[in-house]
A and B are shown apart, each in its own frame.
Chain A
Amino acid sequence: MPDLDTGHLFLTTLAPIKPGAPVDDLQTSHVQLARIALAKLPTAHQSPATNDTKYNSPFARNQRNHLARMFVLEDVVYNGRNTQNPILARIEGNDQTKPQPVDRLNAPYLVFCADIDAITQDGDPLPTNLTAEAQQDVRKSYARKLWDTMEEELTEIYSNCYGFETVKTADQFADYLDRCHVETTMPFHDYYLELPKFHNLPFKTLLYGVLAPLVVGLLALVLWLIGVSDVPLLGWSTLATWIIAIALGLLLAYGAIRFALWNGEKPLPPGKYDDLPSVLKALYVQQKMSDLYVDNQGASDQDLYDAFGKFIEEHKPYDRKSMTQTPGVISSESPKNVTP
């Protein structure tokens, strides 16, 4: 499964953390410094407890993140030795009292995962499919956006990673993060409002397409085995017919499997209104609409009509860019949480 699905990019990057400690602070290792930088990073105003804190998550400074997460991956978890049937082990001369080698990571890693809109310009519609190069462009565009909005925080975190010393500009950071990129194998995303047309497999077509030459080949084989040398009516050689037909059937079967895999790998189309600006606008409109409803309970038709007109004018439901909830907050109640 690739990084791209439902018009979102499921970005995963792993940056190896340097061993030891910086020469000017030998007391605190790079792993520790990375952890401290992460611990100091403010969370979004995403719960009543954090609603009133002074600082918001730096990821809320752009309009592309649905979710972002950074953590230190110390090592892989070790699940114990590979067990073997003792009798087999004895026969193979495998001494089970001897410790086996243990798989380890070569360094601790800073993991950065993000679920982002797969676009290169703010406001673009979500794409249904992108080439590998276009996906790289999306990643780089996103990295530049991060650099422009949170350079200070990124520098504090990533300066503990290998190879970050040369990163001084947005473009260099984009290249750096791209080197750290690994393919995401299991993206998670939200539900569709309306089910789109999925890439259903034309199962019957594939089945019959593969079976037809195979059946012809088998029939010709039977004829050939009982000594008939020519196919009745057509007059083809039975030997040539069964060989060619069965070979064709196997070739088509292989092609069908490849087609099924390729079809399965195609990204799912984006959901309607699934980009971040639409989500934020929807959250905003939903809250304001509830207020409108409450305020106009029992109002006359004319008053309701006027109020609704005012509502459209004030809250601009058709415009995703203005009068919308800012990223990283849970409510549009306070004016400071609204982008005018």
Chain B
Amino acid sequence: MKHLTEYRDPELVEQYIQELHRTATRPWTIMEVCGGQTHGLVKNGILNLLPDLVTMVHGPGCPVCVTPVNLIDKAVYLAEEKNVILCSFGDMIRVPGSTKSLLDAKAGGADVRILYSPLEAVRLARENPDREVVFFAVGFETTAPANALSVVQAQKLRLKNYSILASHVLVPPAMEAVIQDDDTNIQGFLAAGHVCAIMGTGEYGPLVERYKMPMVVTGFEPVDLLQGILMVVRQLERGDYKLENQYTRIVRPEGNPEARRIIEQVFEVVDREWRGIGNIPGSGWAVRAELADFDADRKFSVSIPKVPECSDCIAGLVLKGIKKPRECSQFGRACSPERPLGAPMVSSEGACAAYYHFSMSELVND
């Protein structure tokens, strides 16, 4: 914990807050892209410590939230109909598909297992040669290396019964989609620290130049977040725009070359549907065609009809930072983590769920 306490130091936090109050002279709107950052801001009560002139809006950076309903339906179908051992990270199994979640399927008898690493799923495949093991490989660039590694390992072991249902999404195309939306009013970004730790910062410079918008690669602790916000505000006040790195203790410009190599080996870039937002070109990773045997989508060629998303939900507006969770008429009423209507309420790192769990004011208790 020692390496963390310095980033949670109340005195340092206070200094940054005061510096922000001194620095901000005009209203600024900044988006933190990553759900982990949203979580950090709300969980530590940082939002109500910021100057009124600085408004944080929350981005689309919760991979669990933006996983399309159709993919969840596929995972449920595989678990129920194909005698598959369906493995998933914990926070994915509660996310509702069109009729049920993986947790519902598990309760109904499907073999759904919560794992903590995709390599465990490979072990399960070795131990259960008469069953198909499918790992629901969800995540941004952060979880992709481990998921890719599981495919490489399964290939090395010549496993015929292991595949992944890939649901990888990429951050930079999503940021660009948000910027291009006419209704957004974002003036600067906190870029997602862990994503950059893997991928480096190379893709962000062109975005900064193209849209003349400050971006600061930022970590997740209170001091990280406040320092990142201050760096963006300083740029905005100066009329400057550049890419800066607050998270230098973790993020190198080139990222993690070994992780990138293994991602490249297993995945290729594809257009991708985002729950709540729609299709974003070049925003996902699918398993390469030559590894089709390890791609559950191709291996089982499941065709599940697409179901439209709930019309009462303003998920798209929340994910693009156009609306705050509380501006939704359904928030905390028809829509809650127990019965989410849309993407940002489904995982604990979604913006709506973060507000529901942690934020003050009129939560409905009755």
> Are A and B co-members of a single complex?
no
Residues of B near any A CB (own CB < 8 A):
none
Residues of A near any B CB (own CB < 8 A):
none
